[in-house]
Amino acid sequence: MERIAWHPAFVQAIQLELAEYKDVLEYESEYQLTSEPLKIDVLIIKKRSNVVIKKNIGQIFKQCNVVEYKSPDDRFTIWDYHKTQCYSRLYASQHKISVDEMTVTAVVLRTPRKLLRELGKCFDITNPTSGIYYVNGDTSPTQIVVSAALAEEDNLWLRSLRDDLDVAGMDKVITQQERSDGKLSVEAYLQVILKANPFIFQEIQDMRGKTFDEVMEEAGVTAKWEIRGEERGIALGEERGIALGEIRGEERGIIRGKADYVISVLRTRFQTVPKTIQDSIKSYTDLIALDSLLVAAVTCESIKDFRQNLVR
């Protein structure tokens, strides 16, 4: 099974959770801690120290906040805990910041009961609200966020970043994105939960009576192939002396743009796409057929799996 890249989606999820503080929080994904491959998953820096973060997952925040994320198939052990604490201390030493201005957050899907028992031998563990555990007494203020236990109405984005969403859960994510202002990126987040829950998304399409494109557009994800297609259609029209509003040129441009987008999705997921597959995708002239290819590009397990969707 191909490993799902959860971390880019997590970065967007935590930005969405803290969207109301986007002007005062700065995010650096996979912050390079040393010259060696040692990275903090997310480093959240308060740009204005006098701002109080009221959001439940950010109430602990101080000036610099180290966040460690564990995807659904990963465990957070006592060794991971110690490593994350060291990230905080190392960052403080490198940047001459008091450890009193550092915090540590670990985000996991399910409750790490063994870890909490271990930590309880040395520290006072409190559970002030559902899904959040404070570790009191370590060098830096520390919290363990159990995303599956968070309240849906408060933390939809983190709670839904999982591979076992049901239809109602997926529909709430898409509906919430439709209602948002669209100022924060959500493409990586949606791509991961679609890939992790492909059959549920198909049920959403059936339930709404919409195509893949229509559902994604309603969710606020720009139809990039249409933008590029319209531009290409105009270029085709100009090359042939056709008016800018000529339908044929625009349609051909949109078809080619969508085919390019299918290839782009495959390249993002699998790095390389054989030329034979690229040529086959570009040979399509039907938008509905390309819709099906796009769904396959998002949900397939491999290039070989995708190839089975091509018309022979």
CATH of the domain at 158: 3.90.1570
pLDDT for 241: 41
In a domain, 197, yes or no: no
Beta carbons within 8 Å of 210's beta carbon, 6+ residues apart: 218
Q: Report which residue type is found at 294.
A: L
In terms of domains, do 132 and 278 share one? no
- Averaged confidence pLDDT in the chain: 82
Is the pLDDT reported for residue 236 higher than 70?
A: no
In terms of domains, do 242 and 128 share one? no
Nearest to 270 by CA among 1, 73, 2: 2
Q: How far apart are CA 291 and CA 203, in angstroms?
A: 16
In a domain, 236, yes or no: yes
Does residue 64 sit in helix, strand or coil? strand
Choose the final residue of a domain: 122, 141, 162.
162
Query: Which token pair is 68?
Result: 């460690």
Query: Which token pair is 109?
Result: 């899907």
DSSP string covering 283-307: T---HHHHHHHHHHHHH-SSHHHHH
- How many distinct structural domains can be found in the chain? 2
Q: Report which residue type is found at 15.
A: Q
What domain range is 256 assigned to?
Answer: 223-307
In terms of domains, do 44 and 128 share one? yes
Choose the final residue of a domain: 121, 138, 162.
162
Nearest to 281 by CA among 269, 268, 271, 266: 266
pLDDT for 181: 63
Choose the final residue of a domain: 146, 162, 178.
162
Q: Quick check: 204 and 167 in contact, CB under 8 A? A: yes
Under the banding of pLDDT at 50, 70 and 90, the label for residue 251 is low
In a domain, 84, yes or no: yes
In a domain, 170, yes or no: no
Average pLDDT over residues 45-58: 93
Give me the percent of the chain exceeding a pLDDT of 70. Answer: 80
